[in-house]
Amino acid sequence: MIELVPAGLVHAELLAGIHRICFAEPWSATSMAEVLALAGSEGLIAVDGGSLTPAAEAPGPAGLVLWRRIFDEAEILTIAVLPPWRRGGLGARLLDAAMGAAARAGALTMFLEAAADNHAALALYQSKGFQRVGLRRGYYGGVDGVTMSCRLDQTPVEP
């Protein structure tokens, strides 16, 4: 069973490890810690088979999501699912959790960005109500970045 647990500064190395597996240009542990230390930043780690406590029996990370809320806007900073857990709904679950938390904290709109060639991510975001609002040419090492937004006050989000 996969549990979503809050990410904290103590998890910076773990978050960076997940990111390193999922992205060609990963964030370092220092970058993860800096993001988590920002006001309004939150994160969740998907853990398969337990919790992140030492007493847990063979827990393993499966994914992550980090977001930041400033006033009535929020942004997904990064979301990642490790290969063995892809295509099983975990990305949607992480996105729903971030959207729900941001909405409960007062965000009305959420933004995110994805590489234009990441068709699975773009399809997921569109299925959750995100619409394209911009394009950053060559943002990801020559691949365009698609900027998207979603009205949280008009989109049903999971708790």
Q: Which residue among 3, 13, 57, 125 is the active-site one?
A: 125
Question: Would you kindly state where each structural domain of the chain is located, as residue ranges?
Answer: 2-151
Q: Three-state SS for 76? A: strand
> Residue 94 is which amino acid?
L
Q: What is the pLDDT of residues 121-153, one digit of tens each?
A: 999 999 999 999 999 998 888 899 999 999 998
> Residue 39 is which amino acid?
A
Q: Three-state SS for 27? A: coil
Q: What is the pLDDT of residues 3-53, one digit of tens each?
A: 999 999 999 999 999 999 999 889 999 999 999 999 999 999 999 975 554
In this structure, what DSSP letter does residue 113 have?
E
139 is catalytic: no
Say whether domain 2-151 belongs to CATH 3.10.20.30. Answer: no
> Residue 47 is which amino acid?
V
CA distance 139 to 148: 14
113 is catalytic: yes
Q: Which residue among 42, 75, 113, 140 is the active-site one?
A: 113
Q: Three-state SS for 32? A: helix
Q: Three-state SS for 134? A: strand
